[in-house]
Amino acid sequence: MIRKLTMLLLLLVTINSYAQEDAWVYFTDKPNESAALSNPISILTQKALDRKLHRGIALDSRDVPVHEPYIADLKMQTGITVMAKSKWFNAVHIRGTQADISALSSLAYVDSIDFANTNLSDLGSRVETVQDKMEVENESIVFTYGDTQNQVEMINADNLHFNDFTGEGVTIAVMDSGFPNVNTMSAFQRLRNNGNLLDGYDFVNRNADVYANAASSHGTRVLSTMAAYIQDEYVGTAPDASYYLFLTEDVGSENPVEESYWVEAAERADSLGVDMINTSLGYTEYDNANYNYTPAEMNGQTAFITKGASIAAEKGILVVVSAGNSGASSWQTVGAPADSPNVLSVGGVDANGNYVAFSSQGGAAQVGYQKPDVVARAGLAYVIDENNNITQNNGTSFSAPILCGGIASLWQSIPDVSPVEVMEFVRQSASQYTMPDDFLGYGIPDLALVRTLGTEDETIESFDFYPNPVENQLNFDLTSDTEFKVSLFNYLGQEVLSTKVSVTSNSINFEQLSSGVYIMKLLSVSQSRTLKIIKQ
């Protein structure tokens, strides 16, 4: 009996000593930092440098890659597998036994070790160091994105996540063709555990079981880009948002009734108080050619679904729509409802930020407004299929929800901003806002830049202005004799107008300004006010 007990204890010790753990190893420095920063083209593309310059973002040590010799040496250490690396944190994610990982603390270039299992860190395996600007605060959320890193970082949604904005409190209605296994798959376990998978309805078959339709897993894949979470492997852009799932697409046929299903669902969403709609559906041609639209009818006023989407926007819902996949076909232009000027239409780029040929383009039918609005990753985007497998798919079906989730995380950080303002800020944050085209629209948004939005200051009393939105002339109603200096800034922080207003000179001409959202600052000797103005 004693011998059996001894053998059991030895077995337990052996099993425990070989258990694999995950940890982050933080390095002491980046030996090539000075050289890299003095020659930035060696570490960043010209496009990235131009974007930083355009945004007024200074280069710093986080732009410098992790020192590769450190990583190479770590790979030579006993029992250590390097899983990922982060230049922002000057760290690598590793896997090994607790003993092998703890042994790394003796290496001269290792600053600290942080086990994913916090119980191990409590046992003293962490190397304590002096806090510096690179250390993560306890309040921050640090995801290991795995396969989704590129599509999340492309729109800077990871910056929002790091600052604890993950879509919590924002409700999204997803209109699609089928959501098989969302109610059982482990990729959505976090969503279900948090009570964020709210409800659903199948408008095609008129029942509440949106998971039963196995004919299409398109909705499951779309939802995954926003809501799925697999630790260290996959993180959606809004993992903590809440979701309603509405099935509006009949995959067995193409018929305009699907537009009506969609509008019904939008009405249901409005009644439920949702904040956003994501739809990766588009309508152009039908089984019965008599029902077909023409490219000229993609004018924001013709298709039933487009008019319904515009109403949803009027009701205060931010509608995000995939631009379509007709860029390389004879149709070419965006479909309905992406043609609505009141929705945010999302085209597609590849992992390098380059236009993908299938992404639908803007066209002559969209008079006076830009389509697509912006772009996100659509080329070989990472999604999760109905069998819980991480895979890659092409399509603006995925660029739209990737961005939709990112905007949900953004909106959590600036909850008092209106849907119209959010859309305009997203456009203005994009990479080619000043030079849009029919391929990328305004370009790739920088959602972290949008967070720099100024808040309004209410220190001026007895003051009013109208109309807002303004088309031609902004009028001021001042009861004080004080003269105010007025400075108007676009969202890139550039001053576009400077003038003065008073009781006798109480208006500003906006005719020469481009449409968009502006920050207006009024200043007198003793008072000030900052507010937002929308130019139509």
Closest listed residue to residue 88, CA positions, set 48, 41, 133, 57: 133
Q: Answer yes or no: do 372 and 471 share one domain.
A: no
Q: Answer yes or no: do 215 and 297 share one domain.
A: yes
**CA 518/CA 500 separation, integer angstroms:** 17
What does the pLDDT read at residue 18? 52
- The set of long-range contacts for 79-87, using a CB threshold of 8 Å and a minimum separation of 24, is 80/104, 83/22, 83/144, 83/232, 84/144, 84/146, 84/232, 87/62, 87/63
Q: What is the pLDDT of residues 123-151, one digit of tens each?
A: 333 333 322 222 223 345 679 999 999 99
What does the pLDDT read at residue 223? 98
What does the pLDDT read at residue 505? 85
Please indicate, yes or no, if residue 4 is contained in any of the structural domains: no
Strands 197-202 and 276-279: unpaired
Of 91, 125, 159, the last residue of a domain is 125
- With cut-offs at 50, 70 and 90, classify the pLDDT of residue 52: very low
- With cut-offs at 50, 70 and 90, classify the pLDDT of residue 214: confident
Q: What is the pLDDT of residues 334-345, one digit of tens each?
A: 999 999 999 999
Closest listed residue to residue 427, CA positions, set 510, 534, 526: 534
Q: What is the DSSP letter of 333?
A: B
**CA 244/CA 269 separation, integer angstroms:** 8
Give me 94's structure tokens.
Answer: 């590793």
Q: Which residue has the higher pLDDT, 141 or 287?
A: 287
Query: Per residue in 405-436, is it b (16+ CB within 10 Å) or e — as a string?
Result: bbbbbbbbbbeebebbbbbbbbbbbbbbbeeb
The amino acid at 311: I
What does the pLDDT read at residue 128? 33
Please indicate, yes or no, if residue 107 is contained in any of the structural domains: yes
Q: Answer yes or no: do 198 and 267 share one domain.
A: yes
Of 422, 450, 478, the last residue of a domain is 450
Partners of 336 in the β-ladder: 283
pLDDT of 283 over the 90 cut: yes
pLDDT of 120 over the 90 cut: no
What does the pLDDT read at residue 123? 36
Q: Dump the DSSP string for 224-260.
A: HHHH-EETTTEE-S-TTSEEEEEE---TT---THHHH
Mean pLDDT in residue range 76-98: 77
The residue assigned the tokens 């009701």 is: 315
Closest listed residue to residue 435, CA positions, set 154, 57, 50: 50
Q: Answer yes or no: do 469 and 426 share one domain.
A: no
Please indicate, yes or no, if residue 360 is contained in any of the structural domains: yes
Task: Go through the chain and tell me how many residues it has.
Answer: 536
Q: What is the pLDDT of residues 177-212, one digit of tens each?
A: 999 999 999 999 999 999 999 999 999 998 999 998
Q: Domain range for residue 74? A: 18-125
What crossing angle do the helices spanning 396-413 and 419-429 adopt, rounded to 10°? 110
Q: Answer yes or no: do 87 and 179 share one domain.
A: no
pLDDT > 90: percent of the chain = 49
CATH number of the domain encompassing residue 430? 3.40.50.200
Q: Answer yes or no: do 432 and 485 share one domain.
A: no
Mean pLDDT in residue range 318-332: 96
Q: Answer yes or no: do 443 and 468 share one domain.
A: no
Please indicate, yes or no, if residue 140 is contained in any of the structural domains: no
Q: Answer yes or no: do 441 and 462 share one domain.
A: no
Q: Answer yes or no: do 485 and 439 share one domain.
A: no
Q: Which residue has the higher pLDDT, 267 or 452?
A: 267
Dihedral sign of CA atoms 274, 159, 189, 391 in order = positive
Backbone dihedral region of 375: left (phi > 0), alpha (psi from -120 to 50 degrees) or beta? beta
What's the domain count of the chain? 3
For 482, phi then psi, to 5°, come to -70, 140
Please indicate, yes or no, if residue 399 is contained in any of the structural domains: yes
346 touches 368 (CB < 8 A):
no
472 touches 509 (CB < 8 A):
yes
Query: Per residue in 330-353, is it b (16+ CB within 10 Å) or e — as a string?
Result: ebebbbbbbbbbbbbbbbbbbeeb
What does the pLDDT read at residue 14? 39
Mean pLDDT in residue range 466-490: 82
Q: Which residues contact 462 (CB under 8 A, 6 or more apart)?
A: 478, 479, 480
Closest listed residue to residue 24, CA positions, set 79, 88, 86, 68: 86
Q: Where is 29: in which H helix or E strand? A: none
Please indicate, yes or no, if residue 133 is contained in any of the structural domains: no
What crossing angle do the helices spanning 396-413 and 218-227 adopt, rounded to 10°? 30
Partners of 175 in the β-ladder: 246, 279
Closest listed residue to residue 202, CA positions, set 171, 244, 256, 254: 244
Mean pLDDT of the chain: 84
Dihedral sign of CA atoms 110, 114, 117, 119 in order = positive
Of 120-129, 388-397, 404-413, minimum mean pLDDT range: 120-129
Q: Answer yes or no: do 173 and 116 share one domain.
A: no
Side-by-side strand order, sheet with 276-279:
197-202, 242-247, 171-176, 276-279, 318-322, 344-349, 374-377
Please indicate, yes or no, if residue 241 is contained in any of the structural domains: yes
CATH number of the domain encompassing residue 496? 2.60.40.3080
Of 450, 472, 500, the last residue of a domain is 450
Q: Answer yes or no: do 511 and 463 share one domain.
A: yes
Q: What is the pLDDT of residues 429-456, one digit of tens each?
A: 899 988 999 999 999 999 988 776 434 4
Please indicate, yes or no, if residue 100 is contained in any of the structural domains: yes
**CA 334/CA 345 separation, integer angstroms:** 9
- With cut-offs at 50, 70 and 90, classify the pLDDT of residue 460: low
Q: Where is 63: in which H helix or E strand? A: none
Q: Answer yes or no: do 352 and 382 share one domain.
A: yes
